[in-house]
Amino acid sequence: MNVFTLHGTSGSARRGTLRLTHGTVETPAFMPVGTVASVKGIEPRELRELGAEIVLANTYHLWLRPGLDTLTAMGGLHRFMAWDRPILTDSGGFQVFSLESQRTLDDDGVTFRSHIDGSTHRFTPENVVGFEEAIGVDIAMVLDECVSLPATRDAIAASVRRTTLWARRAAAAWRGDRTALFAIVQGGLDEALRAQSAAELIALDLPGYAIGGLSVGESRDDMARFTQFTAALLPTAKPRYLMGVGTVRDLIAGIDAGIDMFDCVYPTRSGRHGRALTRAGEYNIRNAGYTRDARPIDPDCACAVCRTFTRAYISHLFRAQELLGPRLLSYHNLAALAALMDEARAAIAADRWAAFRDATVAASATG
């Protein structure tokens, strides 16, 4: 199954297209996170308006609520959430990391104790892929084991072994008709283990590959270094996905390393907490200096929020605890990253990536 066309490069930065069951995605691309079939505070209509071409949902959370029976009865995840463009689902592998106290692992799979009601749920490589295909997603991630950093070499090696074992089983169970299956390279901050993980997963010849096990406690410099190292190991003709990255600086570093796809809760989580993302850095809209500021969130942003509302008004909404405030700021933050990706694609196509990269990093005071 070939889902990716690489159109060109500028340095290591890549410009491509994903062709999926529910449409095309131009890369590099940022995927808004809709964990439980909802990008928090943002309607599907608004996602389309701000330029999102693909969203991410989470198998663990959808498995617990609303569950497979409801999703299939409602015609699949796309119809359920009224989103007609591509969807990628994480496998629950992140919850292996984030819900460590509520799960047990063995080579067959992972048993979770639900954070909702304490019920137990058994995830295996086979039933996770089966769930993802049954709800009709465009890209399904294999079940993997992600360890928090720092970790011992033995712990990282064990996660690499298990991730490969599970990926092989997932590949054997995958039907391969409407849903593309992506494997996830692990290996922590160990080059030899990263190389081992990549080689074992590449041998499966799956439609795409993700870089996992980063942005989980390591320094920003280590994340950038191991992203670059791992991306160089992956097939040129397959899409490369860096999981869990969403600041301007980290996205630029990822594109510079040859990454095609990104996701993170950061823009919407920041939006809910009053943090605005701009090319000139980030700031807290609650600060007193914005109470009479007639400028838009970002004077250089063309999104609907920046065309319509002032910093003073959005600052007021947060101070008054009005729900519209987090909605508007989340919209802007997602639109800002969508615009960043659009401009990055244009820069790569024109072979001026290095100049765009340097200018964007220089302009960003934080992030």
Question: Active-site residues: which are they?
Answer: 90, 263
The total number of structural domains that make up the chain: 2
User: Do 250 and 301 belong to one domain?
Assistant: no
Which residue range forms the structural domain that includes residue 156?
4-264
Among candidate residues 264, 289, 319, the one where a domain is terminated: 264
State pLDDT tens for residues 222-272.
999 999 999 999 999 999 999 999 999 999 999 999 999 999 999 999 999
Residues 6+ apart with CB under 8 A from 64: 114, 116, 121
User: Do 77 and 206 belong to one domain?
Assistant: yes
State pLDDT tens for residues 13-47.
999 999 999 999 999 999 999 999 999 999 999 99
Q: What's the pLDDT score for residue 333?
A: 98
User: Do 96 and 199 belong to one domain?
Assistant: yes
At 158, give phi and psi (nearest 5°). Answer: -65, -40
- Give kind and range of the element (H or E) at residue 313: helix 311-319
User: Do 42 and 111 belong to one domain?
Assistant: yes
Task: Residue 211: give its domain's CATH number.
Answer: 3.20.20.105
State pLDDT tens for residues 269-285.
999 999 999 989 999 99
Pairing of strands 87-90, 109-113: unpaired
Q: Are 336 and 277 in contact (CB under 8 A)?
A: yes
Average pLDDT over residues 83-92: 96
The overall average pLDDT reported for the chain is 96
Among candidate residues 224, 245, 264, the one where a domain is terminated: 264
Q: What's the pLDDT score for residue 217?
A: 87
Residues 6+ apart with CB under 8 A from 292: 312
AA identity, residue 142: V
State pLDDT tens for residues 188-230.
999 999 999 999 999 999 999 999 999 898 999 999 999 999 9
Residues 6+ apart with CB under 8 A from 208: 3, 4, 139, 180, 181, 182, 183, 238, 239, 240, 241
- Give kind and range of the element (H or E) at residue 357: helix 353-363
